[in-house]
Amino acid sequence: MIFFFLLVHVLDTSLVRVSPEAYTAVIGAYKNPLMALGETGLVAAIVFHAFNGLRIIAVDFWKKGAKYQRQMLWAVLALWVVTMVAFSIRHLSLALGGH
């Protein structure tokens, strides 16, 4: 999902050099409910990846990391849920509500 986003982002941004009108049209096409949900899924994947990466660093470099890895996983999931609830409310209200 992240790779696909980066690919599309590079391609649509490169349209500015070719045709600013085409770029504007493509960006306008992204403003729909399906894309808003896709963006939410993308952010969910990135946020989980980031929080879980910090957990893995702690497991690898903290002497007691392996002992507490299960508790840290639950902490990662709790942080992820809180972050995603807050983000989703804000993002979807802006994306779907228009303001």
What does the alpha-carbon distance between residue 83 and residue 77 come to, in Å, rounded to a whole number? 10
Residues 70, 45 within the same domain: yes
| 20 and 38 inside one domain | no
The verdict on 10 and 40 lying in the same domain is no
What is the full per-residue pLDDT of the chain (99 aa) written as tens digits?
Answer: 788 888 988 988 999 898 989 989 988 888 889 999 999 999 999 999 999 999 999 999 999 999 999 999 999 999 999 999 999 999 999 998 866
Residues 53 and 14 in one domain: no
Residue 91 marked ligand-binding:
no
* 3-state SS track over 59-88: HHHCCCCCCCHHHHHHHHHHHHHHHHHHHH
> How many domains in the chain?
2
Do residues 8 and 40 both lie within one domain?
Answer: no
Do 11 and 53 fall into the same domain? no
* Domain containing residue 70: 32-98
pTM of the model: 0.80
Residues 56 and 41 placed together within one structural domain of the fold: yes
pLDDT at 98: 66
- Do 21 and 41 lie in one domain? The reply is no
46 with 75, same domain? yes
